Amino acid sequence: MSDRRLTFKKRLHILKHHYRDKKMAPMFNAFHTFLFAPDDTTHSGSHVRVADDLKRTMNTVIMALIPVLLFSMFNAGYQHYSAINGFPTDFLVMEHFLTWDNFWIGIVKVLPLVIVSYGVGLLVEFIFAIIKGHEVEEGYLVTGMLVPLIVPIDTPLWMLAVSVVFGVVIGKEVFGGTGMNILNPALTIRAFLFFAYPTWMSGDKVWVHEAVERAGTADAISGETVLGYLAQNKGAEFTYSISDMFFGFIPGSVGETSTFLILLGGLFLIFSKIASWRIMLSAVIGSLVMGLIFNMVVDAGIITETSTFYGLMSFEYWQHLLVGGLAFGIVYMATDPVTGSQTNRGKWIYGFLIGFISVMIRVFNPAYPEGVFLAILLMNVFAPTIDHYVIKGNIKKRLKRLKNATILPKDSDSKAEEIKAETV
Amino acid sequence: MALLTKKDASLILDPLADNNPITIQVLGICSALAITAELKASVVMAISVLFVLGIGNVVISLLRNIIPSKIRIIVQLIVVATLVIIVDQVLKAFAYELSKTLSVFVGLIITNCIIMGRFEAFALGNGPWKSFLDGIGNALGYGIILIIVGFFRELLGSGTLFGFPVLGNPISKTGLYATGYENNGFMIIPPAALIVVGIIIWIQRSKNKALIEDN
């Protein structure tokens, strides 16, 4: 058989065997298996149990993120032009939102974030895979897509690059790579950005393209988020309607605004059985409960309009889910199978506390208008502890059941006694 | 070295790297996290510990045969407290601003595990000269890590070294700041010190595989 008759796929397989045991093998394999199913089967690992491997799992999450990414590209432009020219009075989706002008801003501003996030992150992964001599793991495929969606639009690219290096190395690789990390890498990257460069991550100027450059000039534009208005007790000043919040025509981090598309993505993940519905549902319940408590405090007259917390506390409890990153965090971050709880009962506790604490931080700490990422990181740390006690509780319950169980005598009484003595 | 025998030299050199009090024994972490945001404070802290541990080890070593073992901890505390108060007073007299930056951490040298550790583990069982070398060695090992951490935290966090702006002026945007660079606020807060110390430990262990514990 001449080389000519070999397909592209076959040639790659031959190349693979050629590169086997060479230093660059992990890098080659990563690209190879990204394009084609490998010709050898998996020898070990937990993913043997299921029909789809880790790469398919990751691809499914990315598919759930694509609509959010596309929407965010249009929204970037929409927010930018609306801040300059004023919001359109009679809003038409085709004429005011899905326009080339809007999309162009998205291409210029959002696409570089995606490219830098993937480029730098995968470079770090490749370097680690080559040094340590293991295969490149797929974990970064999702992280790389999440990162550009949870940062403000004008984040300088070098800052993003520095944060990605930090997040991948300190958040993941030092623990042993994908599957071994304690903290969600994407949120580690955001937390690093938040604490390292706070002026780029909070305030009223970072959420809309060019708002920073124009600050202090005659062309100054404001891009305050809904939460920002509420935190300053200026709830009456913003003009966004409930449907604006739900469909996402509001300023915010790149991809967090559209609760509608996030909801669709969440349903897709639930029906493809990639993400846990228990975590999502319990996190929603948790945030509603906390919101309700705050509403009740306001209704009881304990907090009045003079209080600094009034704006956020009087905010309708269910509307917390529509603004800020709460919905995005619940669907795409809290459900991370590596850093979340593994047991079913643990997932309920873990999710509930994420929602509960997110709204609590949001209301009580004006310095962190967005508490979601802190709440999820905190619960990431506690997830193994929750699992530990859930499993321990289960063992206790079963032992009790065993002790109470009566073993019916079959052949002889002495045999039954023996079994009972052994098991108890 | 004619002055030091090989064994004596290892008393000084071992704690600098392979038996470093911070990176290997993980002692004295508290002050390493708290005061390393500025290089100047790190250096002063390193010198203070050098003084306290060097002199303290000699004093304990000289007294070692007359200290009743039941009250040896109290005697050690008195020695270290006396030396720390001297350091504290000197700092207040000659570098008041700096002593305010270091605040309670000078006083807390008393509770620095490295000092009590060396008193207990070495000075009580060895002669004054050896104890002196051991004290100097451990204090230098502590100081080196403090200065490395302080260097990176001040350079990346504030853009200065010993208070001098080495990267340009962040407000008028000169030097490196003209290119859009900004100081990293994360390096100012204590968790950053933990991560920098962690990276030093990581590098050290990957260079010297013998330091990696089995588990």
Same domain, A336 and A374: yes
pLDDT at A325: 86
**pLDDT over threshold 60, residue A183:** yes
CB-based contact (8 Å) between B156 and chain A? no
**pLDDT over threshold 70, residue A47:** no
Tokens encoding B171: 């407000």
ipTM value: 0.84
**pLDDT over threshold 80, residue B91:** yes
Query: Which residues on chain B are in Cβ contact (under 8 Å) with A156?
Result: 180
Contacts of residue A415, defined as CB under 8 A and 6 or more positions apart, other chains included, come to A409
Same domain, A31 and A86: no
pLDDT bucket at A53, cuts 50 / 70 / 90: low
Residue A419, domain member (yes or no): no
- Listed by number, the residues of chain A in 136-175 with a beta carbon closer than 8 Å to a beta carbon of chain B are 156, 158-159, 162, 170, 174
Which of A162, A170, A195 shows the shortest C-beta gap to B189?
Answer: A195
Say how far apart CA B127 and CA B137 lie, in whole Å: 15
- A192 and B186 within 8 Å at the Cβ level: the answer is yes
CB pairs under 8 A between A and B: 22
CB-based contact (8 Å) between B125 and chain A? no
In chain A, how many domains are there? 2
Same domain, A130 and A15: no
Query: Which residues on chain A are in Cβ contact (under 8 Å) with B171?
Result: none
Residue A198, domain member (yes or no): yes
pLDDT at A52: 55
Residue A43, domain member (yes or no): no
Same domain, A235 and A166: yes
Tokens encoding B126: 């060895």
Same domain, A17 and A54: no
Nearest Cα of chain A lies from the Cα of B200 at a distance, in angstroms, of 13
**pLDDT over threshold 50, residue B130:** yes
Which of B182, B189, B195 shows the shortest C-beta gap to A197?
Answer: B182
Q: Which of A27-41, A130-144, A265-279, B55-69 has the lowest mean pLDDT?
A: A27-41
What would the mean pLDDT of A282-292 be, rounded to a whole number?
93
Say how far apart CA B53 and CA B59 lie, in whole Å: 10
pLDDT at A225: 80
Residue A208, domain member (yes or no): yes
What is the pLDDT of chain B when averaged over all its residues? 85
Same domain, A24 and A117: no
pLDDT bucket at A419, cuts 50 / 70 / 90: low
Same domain, A28 and A63: no
pLDDT at A91: 72
pLDDT bucket at A46, cuts 50 / 70 / 90: very low
Q: What are the b/e assignments for A371-387, b being 16+ CB within 10 Å?
A: bbbbbbbbbbeebeebb
CB-based contact (8 Å) between A268 and chain B? no
Q: Which domain holds residue A264?
A: 48-389
Residue A110, domain member (yes or no): yes
What is the pLDDT of chain A when averaged over all its residues? 82
pTM: 0.83
Same domain, A19 and A137: no
pLDDT bucket at A380, cuts 50 / 70 / 90: very high
pLDDT at A39: 55
Same domain, A213 and A233: yes
One-letter amino acid at A343 equals: T
CB B136, CB B50: distance < 8 Å: yes
pLDDT bucket at A289, cuts 50 / 70 / 90: very high
Same domain, A26 and A81: no
Give the residue, A31 or A279, on which the prediction is more confident: A279
> What is the tens place of the pLDDT at every residue in A57-79?
888 888 899 999 999 988 888 88
Q: Which of A96-110, A142-156, A283-297 has the lowest mean pLDDT?
A: A96-110
pLDDT at A215: 67
Q: Kindly state the percentage of chain B with pLDDT values over 70.
A: 98
Q: Which of A118-122, A125-129, A137-141, A280-284 has the lowest mean pLDDT?
A: A137-141
CB-based contact (8 Å) between B215 and chain A? no
Query: Which residues on chain B are in Cβ contact (under 8 Å) with A157?
Result: none
Give the residue, B185 or A237, on which the prediction is more confident: B185
What would the mean pLDDT of B26-51 be, rounded to a whole number?
86
Same domain, A10 and A101: no
Nearest Cα of chain B lies from the Cα of A130 at a distance, in angstroms, of 15
* Residue carrying the six token digits 């495929």: A141
- A195 and B185 within 8 Å at the Cβ level: the answer is yes
Give the residue, B187 or A94, on which the prediction is more confident: B187
- B186 and A195 within 8 Å at the Cβ level: the answer is yes
pLDDT at B173: 78
Give the DSSP letter string of A254-272. TTTS-HHHHHHHHHHHHHT
- B180 and A170 within 8 Å at the Cβ level: the answer is no
**pLDDT over threshold 90, residue A319:** no
Residue A105, domain member (yes or no): yes
Q: Kindly state the percentage of chain A with pLDDT values over 90.
A: 28
pLDDT at A33: 66
> What is the tens place of the pLDDT at every residue in A17-28?
777 767 777 767
**pLDDT over threshold 70, residue A38:** no
**pLDDT over threshold 50, residue B101:** yes
Assign 3-state DSSP to chain A and report helix, strand, coil percentages, each to 5.
65, 0, 35
Say how far apart CA A267 and CA A271 lie, in whole Å: 6
pLDDT bucket at A272, cuts 50 / 70 / 90: confident
pLDDT bucket at A414, cuts 50 / 70 / 90: low
Give the DSSP letter string of A327-375. HHIIIIITT-TTTS--SHHHHHHHHHHHHHHHHHHHHH-TT-S--HHHH
Residue A276, domain member (yes or no): yes
pLDDT at B1: 47
**Partners of B161 in the beta sheet?**
B164
Give the residue, B90 or A88, on which the prediction is more confident: B90
**pLDDT over threshold 80, residue A367:** no
Give the DSSP letter string of A165-234. HHHHHHHTGGGTSTTT-SS-HHHHHHHHHHHH-HHHHSSSSSSSTTHHHHTTSTT------HHHHHHTT-
pLDDT bucket at A393, cuts 50 / 70 / 90: very high
Nearest Cα of chain A lies from the Cα of B185 at a distance, in angstroms, of 4
To which H or E segment does residue B32 belong? helix B29-34
pLDDT at A48: 43
Same domain, A71 and A156: yes
Give the residue, A16 or B156, on which the prediction is more confident: B156
